Structure 1
Amino acid sequence: MNRTIDIRGYNPADHEAVTGLWKTVFPDDPPWNEPATMLAAKLDFQPEGVLIGVANGAVIAAVLAGYDGHRGWINALAVDPNHRGHGYGAAMIEAASARLKSMGAVKVNLQIRGGNNSLKAYYESLGFEVENRISMGMLLN
């Protein structure tokens, strides 16, 4: 059952709600993903990639998306656990994808942690496909 969600750009008044949502949804994130710092960096770099989902006046979802000049990236999606199963995540991905397309993206990528089969199945249900790639990273200390 889909319920109504209002999707809009970030407003500074959203700060506490968004960082609180991030801490709830991603409690085991590493220190370099500290919500307030990460959000501030994203807003400095590409604020149009921060979308907020509001239902009944409360922030219940957020997505961080980015455009690298060719591809779009869904960096992170958070939906309040008490509001899952109503199509809000799909609506956020759809809005972020439309925003990325308007910026010039021809494709949208995302990454999930290995072994997270339920999230993999969720994104596949939205049209994403597993690609033959290896994701690599390096911390810059």
Structure 2
Amino acid sequence: MTTTTTLSIRCFEARDTDAVVALWQEAFPEYRDVTRPQRNPHLSIANKLATQPELFFVAGLDERIVGTVMGGYDGHRGWLYSLAVAESLRRHGIGARLVAHVENALTERGCPKLNLQVLSAKADVRAFYETLGYRADAVVSLGKRLGELAEAPAA
């Protein structure tokens, strides 16, 4: 990232779909695995647009989408999802700015606590969040697939 390029963060727009899918497939290899229908990026986008689309943000450099983050708030706790930064631009503060942006949006809604999940095998991702002040809670995360995804393999 050059000093003359300005990073902007804004709400996702439908025209961003192809760029976001490409970014997610780079950042999240499981999104390229067609045997895992629960990891379909188009479904993730459609579901987010149906629920709190104003908490789906993209980061852009000029006209290029270089990052994403999604937030959610149920009135009790907030959640952070799908933080992704283009591999060539990592370690330039884009991820931290996206996290701060979604934290501010959730704080404005009265959200008292923000949760996120990191796959246990991704120590580097966990270390990133720890530098931003996130700590492991003394909880066990449980999940259950519902509907047509109920038979999909876990993960």
How would you bin the TM-score normalised by the shorter chain?
over 0.9
Cα 1:93–1:135 change in 2 (3 A) is: same
- The structure 2 residue matched to 1:15, chosen from 14, 17, 23, is 17
Unaligned residue ranges in structure 2 (runs of 5+): 151-155
**CA displacement 1:63-103 (0-9 Å, x = unmatched):** 01101112110022011101111000000000000011112
Within 5 A, what are the aligned runs for 1:79-94?
79-94=85-100
**Aligned-partner residue type, residue 47 of structure 2:** A
Q: Which residue of 1 aligns with 2:38?
A: 32
What is the SS of the residue equivalent to 1:28? helix
Report if aligned partners of 2:20, 2:68 keep a CA contact under 8 Å in 1.
yes
Q: Which residue of 2 aligns with 1:99?
A: 105
What is the SS of the residue equivalent to 1:75? strand
What is the SS of the residue equivalent to 2:50? helix
* Whole-angstrom distance in 2 between the partners of 1:126 and 1:71: 18
Report if aligned partners of 1:2, 1:86 keep a CA contact under 8 Å in 2.
no
**Aligned-partner residue type, residue 13 of structure 2:** N
Q: Which residue of 2 aligns with 1:74?
A: 80
Unaligned residue ranges in structure 1 (runs of 5+): none
Report if aligned partners of 2:69, 2:98 keep a CA contact under 8 Å in 1.
yes
**Aligned-partner residue type, residue 63 of structure 2:** G
* Whole-angstrom distance in 1 between the partners of 2:2 and 2:128: 16
TM-score, normalised relative to structure 1? 0.94
Within 5 A, what are the aligned runs for 1:119-134?
119-134=125-140
Worse-matched range after superposition: 28-37 or 46-55: 28-37
The alpha-carbon deviation at position 5 of structure 1 amounts to 1.4
Report if aligned partners of 2:21, 2:41 keep a CA contact under 8 Å in 1.
yes
TM-score, normalised relative to structure 2? 0.86
**Aligned-partner residue type, residue 11 of structure 1:** E
Q: Which residue of 2 aligns with 1:117?
A: 123
Q: Which residue of 1 aligns with 2:7?
A: 5
